[in-house]
Structure 1
Amino acid sequence: MSGLSPRDPVKYVRDLVNTLLAGTNTTGVFLGLLSAVTVIAAVAHLAFIFLFDSVGVAWMARGNVASVLVYTLSAMLIQNGRHFIAMGLIVGEILLHGILSVVVIGWESGFHYYIILIIPVAILSNMHATWQKVSAAIAVGLLYMGLDFVFRDARPLEDLPHTMLSGLHYFNQASTLIILGLLATVYYRLVASAEARLRLQACTDPLTQLRNRRFAMEVAQHEAAVYERGGRPLALVLGDVDHFKRINDVHGHETGDTALKAVAQALRDGVREVDHVARWGGEEFLMLLPSTEQDEALRVSERIRDAISKIDLVHNHQLVPISITLGVSLLSPGETVEQALARADKALYQGKQAGRNRVVLAGQAA
């Protein structure tokens, strides 16, 4: 897919943010990030179990078993849509674990670093108003600074050897940096995925799921540039569903929509993967056939015309006839895409005047 250059950057960013934060399940960017937090944190606390057990602090090891269970429960709650409860458990565990560790084994242990991780999670949260997120981030920052002021030089309840404290300090420092890096990576991938979906949505017709006029013109301009550089030829086929207004008037707009989707499917089925099919507007469709000469373009168009005429669409036990008229043009040297499309449109009009349900080749460019 070619890149899109939105004309209105503000609207584009607003739509992107809405897409990223939409939904109430784990497909949202924040909920995907929150799910990643539970996995990363559970793995980190598993490491703490063995760490504290190896240094002889059994009660801290047991505490980390409880932490692993908290993160496991949080992951289950996220999967079941209990996002607020899960986030509360995660934040509560980080705060309790960090504060207790600082009080019991001292500031030098470095467990306070994990409290900082709450700030990016709070900022990225889509569950609260902006002022609430900012307030939460400020509160966590003030709490961290308060802990630093009170416990940096305070004597811990549990005296551990200096070498052990130093090891814990650097272990926790490294773990915090790794977790931040992992969260940033996960967030980047989630954002990239959401942006790709938004771009796809921006160039897709919602009814037929074909590419829309905007995308088709971008592709046509690209193929025209390839042709001008001595590359492959380009055939353009413009089609219009015959008597579509009659279908809507007699059988209703729902049947009309069904007819358009059936035509779109026939067009998709009738072309190669390298070809492009777009809804040009209303009941009009455009096919772009790269590397296609005149005879092949006519054969493809005739095959598609025949397939569409055989569509069985029934409404109220009555067969609804569907047919299409197609105008075919090949891009000529020095000709613009707009000029080639105009010739295809003229051929299409000639086909309509001649009785519809036919393929007409456009005259050569002057």
Structure 2
Amino acid sequence: MASPASTTPTAHPPRPFAVPQRGSSVAGKAYWAMAQRVALTAAAIDCGYFVLFLWLGSPPLAWVNLASIAMYLGAYQLIQRRRNTAGILLIWLEVIVHSALGSLLVGWDSGFHYYLWLFIPAIVIANSGRYAAPMVLALLAYYLGLRFACDHWGALAPLPGKGQQIVNTLHTCLVFGMFAALAAFYRRTILIAENRLLKQATLDGLTGLNNRAHFHTLAGHTLTRIQRTGEPVALVLCDIDHFKQVNDRHGHAMGDRVLVAVAGVLARKLRESDVIARWGGEEFLALMPASSLESALEVAERIRVAVEQVEISDQGTPVPLTMSFGVTRVAGSDDLQAAIVRADKALYQSKNSGRNRATAG
């Protein structure tokens, strides 16, 4: 018997945590690979149950577990053949039927009904309130009905000796482990979603550098710290020369390749302590703490040479790359915007002076 929570079937797309479709993404492939592992693990556990119930003297439950093994292996094959919904429904069917048969045969105190609790977080997380509430209520009705049937008929095939206590202890340990695994699964899902949202909010989607808004945040923190220490700070604004011509002659896909290549050069040539961003279009901006104007000009020159040496071609035709730079010092009394204005003026001087150079401003 396996946890239904980690393989949640639903006729409607889950709201908070959408179950990915196989092949639609890396996450989708990973999800369905995990579902297959769940089916195989559950089949292995039921192999152990088969032996346990034969040892405890309950052949009916042993054969129930044999049927469960077949159902889990069938679910594994269905998911492998991309019949995902059918595979997940088969897993859920196994849990529901197995819980009922185990409770009726051995008795309520055996703990077979514990597995039904795992449906509650699965239903609530995977569905909106419109569908979750009726499904939870239906589960509650089924659960109470099973409890009533067990109380009314008693154990139809009770286990001898301490068999029921052994089974209850085993079920308690397994369900505790399944709830822990379920919590870990959804915690990881939340962390991945939060990390993805954070990247979307702070990083440029193409180059992976900081975006403009996040640059302001990081630069503000850096300048606040610098004002206390009094160390020099430099600002470098750079622009890819003739970038519009690259797009016009070679297409926007090539333009994207150029932006990514230049961003890679900047990331390699600047320090981890420097704050780098794609400022907009083909412009990039770097705030360099503990850097004088002279050292910033030297860094800009190294970047200029490295960009000029980038080898990129369009179907064998080389695409020449150069960059122009505006470099300025950020004084203690400056605000960031004033420094950016000075760097922008220095950049335009580089452009007007023939491009492919760095100018201090």
Q: Please indicate the TM-score interval, normalised by the length of the shorter structure.
A: 0.7 to 0.9
Match of 1:11 in 2: none
Match of 1:23 in 2: 20
Q: 1:295 to 1:81 in 2, by over 3 A?
A: farther
Match of 2:269 in 1: 270
Alignment of 1:164-175 (within 5 A): 164-175=163-174
CA drift of 1:352 comes to: 1.9
AA in 1 matched with 2:331: S
* CA distance in structure 2 between the partners assigned to 1:19 and 1:262 by the alignment: 37
Q: 1:123 to 1:360 in 2, by over 3 A?
A: same
Contact 1:46 1:68 (8 Å CA) reproduced: yes
Once the two structures are overlaid, the 10-residue window that deviates more, 160-169 or 96-105, is: 160-169
Match of 1:103 in 2: 104
CA drift of 1:300 comes to: 1.4
AA in 2 matched with 1:259: V
AA in 2 matched with 1:328: V
CA drift of 1:84 comes to: 0.8
* CA distance in structure 1 between the partners assigned to 2:77 and 2:221 by the alignment: 48
AA in 2 matched with 1:54: W
Match of 1:143 in 2: 142
Contact 1:240 1:325 (8 Å CA) reproduced: yes
Alignment of 1:227-242 (within 5 A): 227-230=226-229, 233-242=232-241
Q: 1:139 to 1:256 in 2, by over 3 A?
A: same
CA drift of 1:90 comes to: 1.2
* CA distance in structure 2 between the partners assigned to 1:315 and 1:166 by the alignment: 73
Report the identity percentage: 36
Q: 1:66 to 1:246 in 2, by over 3 A?
A: same
Contact 2:274 2:286 (8 Å CA) reproduced: yes
Once the two structures are overlaid, the 10-residue window that deviates more, 302-311 or 33-42, is: 33-42
Contact 1:24 1:81 (8 Å CA) reproduced: no
CA drift of 1:305 comes to: 0.8
SS at match of 1:152: helix
Once the two structures are overlaid, the 10-residue window that deviates more, 80-89 or 211-220, is: 80-89
* CA distance in structure 2 between the partners assigned to 1:108 and 1:352 by the alignment: 82
* CA distance in structure 1 between the partners assigned to 2:218 and 2:52 by the alignment: 58
Contact 1:294 1:330 (8 Å CA) reproduced: yes
* CA distance in structure 2 between the partners assigned to 1:349 and 1:229 by the alignment: 32
Render the CA deviation track for 1:101-138: whole Å, top value 9, x for unaligned: 12211222121121221232233337xx7644443333
Give the TM-score taking structure 1 as reference length.
0.81
Contact 1:36 1:183 (8 Å CA) reproduced: no
Once the two structures are overlaid, the 10-residue window that deviates more, 230-239 or 97-106, is: 230-239
* CA distance in structure 1 between the partners assigned to 2:231 and 2:45 by the alignment: 56
AA in 2 matched with 1:337: L
Match of 2:286 in 1: 287
Once the two structures are overlaid, the 10-residue window that deviates more, 106-115 or 260-269, is: 260-269
Match of 2:297 in 1: 298
Contact 1:239 1:284 (8 Å CA) reproduced: yes
Contact 1:235 1:293 (8 Å CA) reproduced: yes
Once the two structures are overlaid, the 10-residue window that deviates more, 266-275 or 187-196, is: 266-275
Match of 1:12 in 2: none
Contact 1:223 1:234 (8 Å CA) reproduced: no
CA drift of 1:272 comes to: 3.3
AA in 2 matched with 1:351: S
Q: 1:176 to 1:205 in 2, by over 3 A?
A: same
**2:86 paired with 1:85:** yes
Match of 1:14 in 2: none
CA drift of 1:59 comes to: 4.2
Contact 1:298 1:328 (8 Å CA) reproduced: yes
Match of 1:216 in 2: 215
Match of 1:117 in 2: 118
CA drift of 1:326 comes to: 0.8
Q: 1:203 to 1:121 in 2, by over 3 A?
A: same
Once the two structures are overlaid, the 10-residue window that deviates more, 349-358 or 30-39, is: 30-39
Q: 1:60 to 1:18 in 2, by over 3 A?
A: closer
Match of 1:8 in 2: none
* CA distance in structure 1 between the partners assigned to 2:88 and 2:236 by the alignment: 54
* CA distance in structure 1 between the partners assigned to 2:222 and 2:44 by the alignment: 51
* CA distance in structure 1 between the partners assigned to 2:41 and 2:172 by the alignment: 15
Contact 1:20 1:194 (8 Å CA) reproduced: no
When the two structures are aligned, how many residues end up with a matched partner? 344
